[in-house]
Structure 1
């Protein structure tokens, strides 16, 4: 199966070169493509990506937003541009290790057609104390409400069937609720423990408010969506 790796990024020119080298190494010998979605960067991100695409044999495709629309919108643009059967996602800041992506894709395939997501769960966080506290609060609240069995929905490392990914209801902040939305569709979720890394260059371009306070509103929106779909039937076409 072809795998599409979708990487949303904003102002990550200093991190992208090494990160893309790591993605290529992780998927060596496999059928894959890499889609970087430049979410309105104002640094040299566009130049770095153009030079990379010009390399012989490059697997890279690039999408650029004309203005910053947020991480969820960037992920969605990549998902709808992807050509692969499985879509893997990761953050563009280098804190996610691409070596886990093939493992997530393999775990998803091994689990069979009923599986909706293979999701990474970080064992040790390297973010600031404040971001860790905000993330821990959001995850605990989300788990108490949604009960989707996912302790770290904010980890960018995920593998999802392309057809399912494109069918999930979209809203700003949607990328943090992929496991719960997959469960809503009657699919199962597989988890893989992963190790978080230090950011090599720069600073986060998506703030704590996006991850914390606004997420509370999103949480109850997802809870409502799940309550409104009580039965997921198995649809079988009957021969004529």
Structure 2
């Protein structure tokens, strides 16, 4: 089948969520507005996640996986998804399913006019501490990047793949995807999406890496922005 969108699903010790992930993504594929495939990226899970992922892929033709030898972090998992995707578009959703795959259809309505469309979690169902730390982190990042995005931590995005593959990823850069698309002179926009409480599993980020981590990453982004190489080819004989 000629798929147009690949949904990347990073996984790290999510055995309690994977049955629901299979159910909800399988349901979404039936109503997706473009032909869609799913790519699990197992970030070196220590639980039964890989066994479950392989069973899911064996049952579903549209599902594939990449398994890391060891845990490398969320940014590495997203980069691997970009590297292995061979569709025109790539999407991204967390395996905790605090956002709904159905809302990819909302993002797809805007992708023709943009190179990246990101969700903004409306009425977030997280703790006060988590919400406040994310709000502060987003404010710090916005001050550094000037990207105008309110919620880059929202785990629901769609990007044109040729732009995604050109992003020079480093650890923590998943928070800067809109800014990195803008460095390529790409257009970005944000649209509200639904948000739900985490039902199973545990969050992988605490207050420390929601605040101090993003602050340190902002300096890495500024260095990269200064050194970033961008060009447009006018003509070639190749």
TM-score with structure 1 setting the length = 0.90
What is the RMSD of the two structures over their aligned residues, measured on CA atoms?
Answer: 2.0
DSSP 3-state at the match of 1:124: coil
Deviation of 1:225 after TM superposition, in Å, equals 2.8
Runs of 4+ in 1 over 3 A off after TM superposition: 231-235
Which residue does 2:192 correspond to in 1? 193
Which residue does 1:86 correspond to in 2? 89
**Corresponding residue to 1:4 among 3, 6, 24:** 6
Which sections of structure 2, spanning at least 5 residues, go unmatched? Answer: none
Compared CA separation, residues 11 and 232, structure 1 to 2 (3 A):
closer
Q: Quick check: 1:27 aligned with 2:25?
A: no
**Corresponding residue to 1:65 among 64, 68, 87:** 68
CA contact (8 A) 1:121 1:152 kept: yes
**Corresponding residue to 1:236 among 229, 234, 237:** 234
Which residue does 1:170 correspond to in 2? 169
CA contact (8 A) 2:103 2:194 kept: no
Deviation of 1:232 after TM superposition, in Å, equals 6.1
Q: Quick check: 1:53 aligned with 2:52?
A: no
Which residue does 1:131 correspond to in 2? 130
Deviation of 1:27 after TM superposition, in Å, equals 2.6
> Which sits farther off after the overlay, 201-210 or 32-41?
201-210
DSSP 3-state at the match of 2:109: helix
DSSP 3-state at the match of 1:17: helix
**Cα distance in structure 2, aligned partners of 1:75 and 1:210:** 18
**Cα distance in structure 1, aligned partners of 2:118 and 2:212:** 23
User: How big is each residue's C-alpha offset from its partner over 1:68-106, in whole Å with a ceiling of 9 and x where there is no partner?
Assistant: 111111111111111211000011111121111132133
Alignment of 1:93-132 (within 5 A): 93-109=96-112, 111=113, 115-132=114-131
DSSP 3-state at the match of 1:176: helix
**Cα distance in structure 1, aligned partners of 2:194 and 2:107:** 14
**Cα distance in structure 2, aligned partners of 1:67 and 1:123:** 34
**Cα distance in structure 2, aligned partners of 1:227 and 1:62:** 35
**Cα distance in structure 2, aligned partners of 1:232 and 1:76:** 19
What number of residue pairs does the alignment pair up? 234
User: How big is each residue's C-alpha offset from its partner over 1:89-130, in whole Å with a ceiling of 9 and x where there is no partner?
Assistant: 011111121111132133112x1xxx2210101112222222
Deviation of 1:236 after TM superposition, in Å, equals 2.2
TM-score with structure 2 setting the length = 0.90
Deviation of 1:233 after TM superposition, in Å, equals 5.9
